[in-house]
Amino acid sequence: MTKKDQGFTLIELMIVVAIIAIIASIAIPNLLSARLNANESAAIATLKNISSSQSQCQASGVIDANNNGAGEFGYFGELSGAQFVRNDNAGGVSTTERIAPPVLSTAFGNVAGSQVVRSGYIFQMYLPGTGGTEFQAEAATGGGTGVNVDPARAEVMWCCYAWPSSYGNSGKRTFFVNQGGDVLGARNSTMQYTSTTNAPVAGTAAFAGAGGRFAGTIASNTVGADGETWVVVN
């Protein structure tokens, strides 16, 4: 029998397996890192798009719950055209009027638990509430039905957070944007916001000082109410 007919020896097979293991140990972490970076970049781009959509919504005046002629900012359900717009400050909505055409992707009409999941990140919108409620999330299935929003303050304020749906797997950093237009990011190393349950608490996270308030200072390049350092990202 010639050597050609004998096939691989055990040592040769072990060498091949070892080489494959070495290549995998290098490639897999790089692939994971690339996925995390891609998801985080997508989250930042999405928040910038949301900011633009909010500006269009407010300028259009479609949402004017206090009928004073000044437009208000909206929730995902409203911006995406999936829900009727608010028409009072007690959770009432129009039965005929939607934002058409929508100013935000219709994919954001898929709201569950007041949140939207996109590309490994969870997004949640807040508007200023009435009756002492600083950060008012939208209705569980989207829009403002049954939600008490302060119309006057909703003409000038809103904020949105994005955090990984699976920390370390779909992303690491947490992001924030509001009416100012700047996207802030936090390393999320302390809080490790992840999934639909471990989220930025009551919307205060990126506001400076303990018990941050909607009209308070944004934690730009400083520590927020959650103890994370929030910095402006490009």
Domain ranges across the chain? 10-232
Q: What is the rounded CA–CA span in Å between residue 147 and residue 127?
A: 10
The predicted pLDDT at position 125 comes to 97
Tokens of 58: 């407010």
Give pLDDT tens digits for 39-88: 999 999 999 999 999 999 999 999 999 999 999 999 999 999 999 999 99
> Cβ contacts of residue 159 below 8 Å, gap of 6+?
125, 126, 135, 176, 177, 178, 179, 203, 206, 214
Average pLDDT over every residue of 173-196? 94
Q: What is the rounded CA–CA span in Å between residue 85 and residue 158?
A: 16
The predicted pLDDT at position 13 comes to 78
Average pLDDT over every residue of 142-164? 95
Q: What is the rounded CA–CA span in Å between residue 113 and residue 133?
A: 18
Q: How confident is the model at residue 209 (pLDDT cuts 50, 70, 90)?
A: low
Question: Helix and strand tally (H, E) in the chain?
Answer: 4, 8
Pick from 11-25, 27-41, 218-232 the range whose average pLDDT is largest. Answer: 218-232
Q: How confident is the model at residue 1 (pLDDT cuts 50, 70, 90)?
A: very low
